[in-house]
């Protein structure tokens, strides 16, 4: 089961040009800022938006080929889609919602209902079978939406922000459930999300979209360690510094040099990535083993759970992650000058 | 508490109550309007010869008119459902040039004097009509002045009520439900039948009730296009009109009956709308 697609289309301000390929049973996550074409890509694969150019081939079947004038209608594409809002049919019970794709494939009413019950049981939601969609919590509704999308044994499973409408407490178990189901799904799956955790947990491969183009592609680990755009860096919560690498050193735009433990392959334009938790702050210039020391001014503070993210403007602009105790002891507030240090081993250097 | 020098002498609560009260310039005409609308109905109740109700309601001519009215109004509603629901879908869903114009044309019968509608129907379906002429020449059958003509006249006048109600309901249904149905393998007809139609069910019911009530009361187009033949085309409103000359008591009782039907329809719709509102806020 494979997916090959080239999607080119224009919709208002958006111009989308994406090529993607996916092998057997792989889960792709498409991440990117809002309005960058993630959902349009998903709708195009589903056949709900026509391509201006390009093609979509699933399991050797051509679903769409703009050049050849081929366009298989959505209902014949053997798809499953989990929408952000679930879109369960409000007039049907959970059981009949899940039976819907089966009935569309020609099963009789009682046969489809039995199969729907089986599917619900497999997904641990048989207890909801008799309920109406409006009686479900957002998390339950998405579970049912997933069961409905999978019930027809789709060749391609698409999910558009499947956890967006679910509150934080319910999203963790649902995410685990989703990962299980995606792993069990033999066809290709494509999940559109703006949530980095969701992308990292669910995906075998990450596709970063910005301005309608793929700006980075790779395993979640690779993308998290070596982001290539400020957006990805922000998404993954790491500092990205652009500069010119010579050996183990990166000359940043401001003239400050950062030292890494390992050299980048060839000298030239490069990135350094630094995790916020690797940045230590001092009230006075420290003397010690860290190779990277520079001065900066606190410009903003963000509380993030039991950590505080401190934004530092200076020779190198970075975000440091410290404890609330440290904020209190160093009296960190906007305008305060501090020194930042990072060990060379905590700086990852890679070419642009 | 010392009030500022510019404050009104009225206590704050009194001032608030006065602000909530509608101005007399609006209130007085509104009261007159209510009186004007309700007084005739009260008059009908007051002048009803209650002792004769039994006799009038068992009069064969009255029963005949009642039966004819119920049958034709129901048939007209059925015809309006079969033709009008698809028309409402065409007006609500696909985007095409001239849709606004089509909607305007379709709703003309709403504002057209019914007698004009009757004349127009005659011109098209009469023995010398554009369509009726060739049909009469070929088969010797013509539509006007038959019970079928009553149904046609009622459908002509009443169907727009159904079309507009159903169209509004269709617009209220998130089109993404149809998209979701398509991703699950439903073609457009299946999606319409199994998703869209059930979702607009309340709207279709309300439209059908409105349509039926309008058909039941139809007078102008019916008398012009179908005439007033006892037992064949003389519906209740026509019977009322007929009786006004000969037996005012009968006219009053029949009017009261039609009024009762209207009130029932209103109550049914009110119930419908109330439930709809409750569901929306859930």
Per the CB < 8 Å rule, is B176 touching A91?
no
Closest CA to B221 of B123, B84, B81, B74: B123
Closest CA to A182 of A169, A163, A164: A163
Per the CB < 8 Å rule, is A91 touching B198?
yes
Torsion angle of C-alpha atoms A332, A333, A335, A337, degrees rounded to 10? 0
Is A19's pLDDT higher than 80? Answer: yes
**What's the total number of domains in chain B?**
1
Per the CB < 8 Å rule, is B183 touching A46?
yes
Per the CB < 8 Å rule, is B179 touching A152?
no
Is A351's pLDDT higher than 90? Answer: no
Q: Tell me the mean pLDDT in the region A196-217.
A: 87
Q: Is residue B17 part of a domain?
A: no
Measured between alpha carbons, how far is A54 from A44 in angstroms, rounded to an integer?
A: 11
User: What's the domain range around B154?
Assistant: 51-281
What is the interface size between A and B, counted as CB pairs within 8 Å?
Answer: 62
The tokens describing A212, both together, are 């309608």
User: How do the domains of chain A map onto residue ranges?
Assistant: 3-88+136-225, 239-351
Q: Is residue B44 part of a domain?
A: no
Measured between alpha carbons, how far is B272 from B266 in angstroms, rounded to an integer?
A: 10
Strands A249-252 and A239-246: antiparallel
Note whether A74 contacts B: Cβ–Cβ < 8 A: yes
pLDDT of residue B277: 44
A79 contact residues in B (CB cutoff 8 A): 183
Q: Are A323 and A309 in contact (CB under 8 A)?
A: no
CA contacts within 13 A on the Cβ side of B84:
29
Q: Are A101 and A155 in contact (CB under 8 A)?
A: no
The tokens describing A56, both together, are 């979509």
B interface with A, Cβ–Cβ below 8 Å: 174, 176-177, 179-187, 190, 194-195, 198-199, 201, 282
Q: Is residue B80 part of a domain?
A: yes
Percent of chain A having pLDDT more than 70? 100
Which residue from A87, A148, A158 is facing B176, i.e. has the nearest CB? Answer: A87
Task: Give the gyration radius of chain B's Cα atoms.
Answer: 25
pLDDT of residue B275: 56
Q: What is the chain A residue with the closest CA to B199?
A: A91
Domain A239-351 = CATH 2.40.50.100:
yes
Phi and psi (nearest 5°) for B256? -60, -40
Element (H, E) at A121: helix A109-122
Closest CA to B147 of B230, B237, B240: B230
CA diameter of chain B: 95
pLDDT of residue B95: 84
Q: What CATH number has the domain spanning A3-88+136-225? A: 3.40.50.300
pLDDT of residue A34: 82
User: Is ipTM beyond 0.85?
Assistant: no
Q: Is residue B2 part of a domain?
A: no
Q: Please write the tens of the pLDDT for every residue from B95-125.
A: 888 898 999 998 899 899 999 999 999 999 9
Per the CB < 8 Å rule, is A89 touching B176?
no
pLDDT of residue B9: 61
pLDDT of residue B281: 34
Highest-confidence range of A170-179, A326-335, B223-232, by mean pLDDT? B223-232
For residues A82-92, b (16+ Cβ closer than 10 Å) or e, as one string?
A: bbbbbbbbbbb
Note whether A83 contacts B: Cβ–Cβ < 8 A: yes
Per the CB < 8 Å rule, is B181 touching A148?
no
Q: Please write the tens of the pLDDT for every residue from B5-48.
A: 444 566 767 766 666 777 888 889 999 999 999 998 898 888 88
Closest CA to A194 of A222, A167, A218, A160: A160
B186 contact residues in A (CB cutoff 8 A): 75, 100, 104
Per the CB < 8 Å rule, is B184 touching A152?
yes
pLDDT of residue B282: 31
pLDDT of residue B272: 61
Task: Give the gyration radius of chain A's Cα atoms.
Answer: 24
Q: Is residue B168 part of a domain?
A: yes
Q: What is the chain A residue with the closest CA to B202?
A: A91
Measured between alpha carbons, how far is A140 from A106 in angstroms, rounded to an integer?
A: 27
Q: What mean pLDDT is reported for chain A?
A: 89
Which residue from A77, A79, A104 is facing B190, i.e. has the nearest CB? Answer: A104
Q: What is the pLDDT along chain B (282 residues), one digit of tens a residue?
A: 444 444 456 676 776 666 677 788 888 999 999 999 999 889 888 888 888 888 888 888 889 999 999 999 999 999 999 999 999 999 998 888 889 899 999 889 989 999 999 999 999 999 888 998 998 999 988 899 999 999 999 999 999 999 999 999 999 999 899 999 999 999 999 999 999 999 999 899 999 999 999 999 999 999 999 999 998 999 999 999 989 888 888 899 989 888 888 888 888 877 665 555 444 433
Q: How many other CB atoms sit within 10 Å of the CB of residue A22? A: 22
Assign residue B265 the CATH number of its domain.
1.10.3720.10
Per the CB < 8 Å rule, is B180 touching A80?
no
Distances (CA, A) of B21 to A204, A265, B116, B189: 67, 82, 45, 53
Measured between alpha carbons, how far is B243 from A182 in angstroms, rounded to an integer?
A: 76
Q: Is residue B277 part of a domain?
A: yes
pLDDT of residue A99: 95
Per the CB < 8 Å rule, is B180 touching A152?
no
How many Å lie between the alpha carbon of B186 and the closest alpha carbon of chain A?
Answer: 5
Measured between alpha carbons, how far is A279 from A298 in angstroms, rounded to an integer?
A: 13
- For the ranges A28-42, A113-127, A251-265, the lowest mean pLDDT is seen at A251-265
Which residue from B174, B176, B185 is facing A101, i.e. has the nearest CB? Answer: B185
Measured between alpha carbons, how far is A70 from A54 in angstroms, rounded to an integer?
A: 11
Q: Mutation test of the interface with chain A: which of B173, B182, B183, B191, choosing the one with the most A Cβ atoms within 10 A?
A: B183
CA–centroid distance for B200 within its chain: 18
Q: Please write the tens of the pLDDT for every residue from A59-102.
A: 889 999 998 999 999 999 999 999 988 899 999 999 999 999 99
Which residue from B183, B190, B194 is facing A79, i.e. has the nearest CB? Answer: B183
DSSP string, chain B: -PPPTTS-SS-HHHHHHHHHSPPHHHHHHHHHHHHHHHHHHHHHHHH--GGGHHHHHT-HHHHHHHHHHHHHHHHHHHHHHHHHHHHHHHHHSS--TTHHHHHHHHTHHHHS-HHHHHHHHHHHHSTTSTTHHHHHHHHS---TTSHHHHHHHHHHHHHHHHHHHHHHHHHTS-THHHHHHHHTT--HHHHIIIIIHHHTHHHHHHHHHHHHHHHHT--HHHHHHT---TTTT--HHHHHHHHHHH-HHHHHHHHHHHHHHHHHHHHHHHHHHHHHHHHHH-
Measured between alpha carbons, how far is B122 from B117 in angstroms, rounded to an integer?
A: 9
Give the strand order in the sheet containing A53-58.
A14-22, A3-11, A53-58, A61-65, A70-71
Is A253's pLDDT higher than 80? Answer: no
Q: Are A160 and A42 in contact (CB under 8 A)?
A: yes
Strands A292-304 and A337-342: antiparallel
């Amino acid at each position: 089961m494979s997916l090959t697609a080239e999607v080119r289309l224009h919709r208002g301000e958006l111009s989308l040009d994406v090529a993607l390929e996916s092998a057997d049973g792989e889960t792709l996550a498409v991440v990117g800022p809002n309005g960058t074409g993630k959902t349009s890509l998903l709708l195009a694969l589903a056949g709900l938006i026509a391509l201006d150019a390009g093609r979509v081939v699933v399991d050797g079947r051509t679903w769409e080929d703009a050049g050849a004038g081929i366009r298989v209608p959505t209902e014949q594409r053997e798809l499953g889609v989990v929408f952000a809002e679930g879109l369960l049919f409000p007039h049907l019970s959970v059981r009949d919602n899940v039976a819907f794709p089966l009935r569309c494939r020609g099963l009789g009413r009682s046969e489809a209902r039995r199969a729907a019950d089986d599917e619900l049981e497999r997904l641990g939601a048989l207890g909801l079978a008799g309920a109406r969609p409006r009686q479900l919590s957002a998390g339950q509704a998405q579970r049912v939406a997933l069961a409905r999308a999978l019930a027809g044994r789709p060749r391609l499973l698409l999910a558009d922000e499947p956890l967006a409408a679910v509150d934080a407490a319910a999203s963790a178990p649902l995410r685990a459930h989703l990962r299980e189901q995606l792993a069990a799904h033999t066809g290709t799956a494509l999940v559109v999300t703006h949530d980095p955790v969701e992308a990292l947990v669910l995906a075998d491969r990450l596709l970063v979209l910005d301005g309608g183009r793929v700006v980075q592609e790779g395993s979640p680990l690779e993308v998290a360690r070596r982001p290539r755009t400020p957006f990805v860096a922000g998404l993954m919560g790491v500092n990205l510094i652009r500069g010119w690498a010579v050996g183990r050193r990166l000359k940043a735009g401001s003239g400050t040099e950062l030292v890494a433990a390992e050299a980048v392959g060839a000298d030239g334009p490069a990135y350094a990535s630094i995790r916020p938790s690797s940045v230590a702050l001092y009230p006075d210039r420290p003397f010690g083993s860290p190779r990277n020391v520079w001065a900066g001014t606190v410009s903003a503070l963000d509380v993030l759970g039991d950590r505080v993210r401190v934004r530092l403007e200076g020779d190198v602009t970075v975000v440091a992650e410290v404890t609330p105790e440290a904020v209190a002891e160093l009296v960190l507030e906007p305008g305060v000058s501090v020194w930042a240090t990072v060990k060379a081993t905590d700086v990852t250097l890679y070419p642009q | 508490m010392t009030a500022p020098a510019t404050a009104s002498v009225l206590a704050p609560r009194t001032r608030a109550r006065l602000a909530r009260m509608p101005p007399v310039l609006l209130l007085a005409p509104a009261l007159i309007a209510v009186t004007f609308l309700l007084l005739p109905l009260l008059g009908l109740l007051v002048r009803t010869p209650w002792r004769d109700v039994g006799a009038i309601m068992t009069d064969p001519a009255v029963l005949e008119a009642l039966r004819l009215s119920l049958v034709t109004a129901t048939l007209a509603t059925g015809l309006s459902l079969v033709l009008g629901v698809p028309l409402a879908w065409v007006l609500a869903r696909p985007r095409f040039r001239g849709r606004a114009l089509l909607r305007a044309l379709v709703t003309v019968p709403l504002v057209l004097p019914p007698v004009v509608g009757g004349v127009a129907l005659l011109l098209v379906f009469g023995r010398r009509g554009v369509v009726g002429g060739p049909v009469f020449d070929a088969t010797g059958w013509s539509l006007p002045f038959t019970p079928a003509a009553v149904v046609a006249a009622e459908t002509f006048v009443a169907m727009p009520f159904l079309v507009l109600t159903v169209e509004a309901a269709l617009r209220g249904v998130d089109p993404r439900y149809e998209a979701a149905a398509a991703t699950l393998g439903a073609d457009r007809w299946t999606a319409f039948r199994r998703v869209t139609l059930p979702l607009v069910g309340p709207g279709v019911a309300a439209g059908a009730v409105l349509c039926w009530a309008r058909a039941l009361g139809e007078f102008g187009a019916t008398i012009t296009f179908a005439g007033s033949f006892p037992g064949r085309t003389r519906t209740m409103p026509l019977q009322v009109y007929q009786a006004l000359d000969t037996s005012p008591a009968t006219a009053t009782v029949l009017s009261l009956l039609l009024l009762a039907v209207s009130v029932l329809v209103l109550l049914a719709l009110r119930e419908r709308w109330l439930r709809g509102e409750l569901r929306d806020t859930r």
